[in-house]
Amino acid sequence: MIPGVVVRPYQRSDQDFVLDATCNVRYPRGLPWTDWRYAYGSLVSFWLDNGRCVVADAGDDTALGFAVADSLVRMVYVKREFRGHGLGAELLGALGVWTPHDPNRAWQSWVKRRGP
């Protein structure tokens, strides 16, 4: 974990960061961004309204990453320059959920590097 970073509950002020990062990571190139952001953003909003989200905060509301889950992990995101410092594990630990809804290549690679 990076000194000074705290994991805190999601706040409405985090909404644009969470929605934009999630939509961008999952963006199927070739569709208009505004259409994708509207459609997939609605699903992300559903997860936020019906699940839990925690944010890695470096102070002054500077978000470094977040995790969203209900009974499954829906999204874990850490800004590129802060990856490899255990933030993803801290975020998931705060949620208490470790099973992904979509164990994609990035998830599988992270689990392999992190270990069981």
Contact 97, 76 (CB under 8 A): no
69-111: pLDDT as tens digits: 999 999 999 999 999 999 999 999 999 999 998 888 888 888 7
Look up residue 81 and give its two tokens. Answer: 């320059």
| Domain segments of the chain as ranges | 6-114
16-75: pLDDT as tens digits: 999 999 999 999 999 999 999 999 999 999 999 999 999 999 998 799 999 999 999 999
Indicate the CATH number of 6-114 among 3.40.630.30, 3.30.300.170, 3.60.21.10, 2.60.370.10. Answer: 3.40.630.30
Can you tell me the distance from the alpha carbon of 65 to that of 82, in angstroms, rounded to the nearest whole number?
9
Can you tell me the distance from the alpha carbon of 4 to that of 58, in angstroms, rounded to the nearest whole number?
6
Residues 6 or more apart in contact with residue 66 via CB below 8 angstroms: 10, 14, 17, 18, 21, 53, 54, 55, 56, 75, 76, 77, 91
Q: Which residue has the tokens 């960061």?
A: 17
pTM score over 0.75: yes
Nearest CA to 70 out of 100, 102, 110 is that of: 100
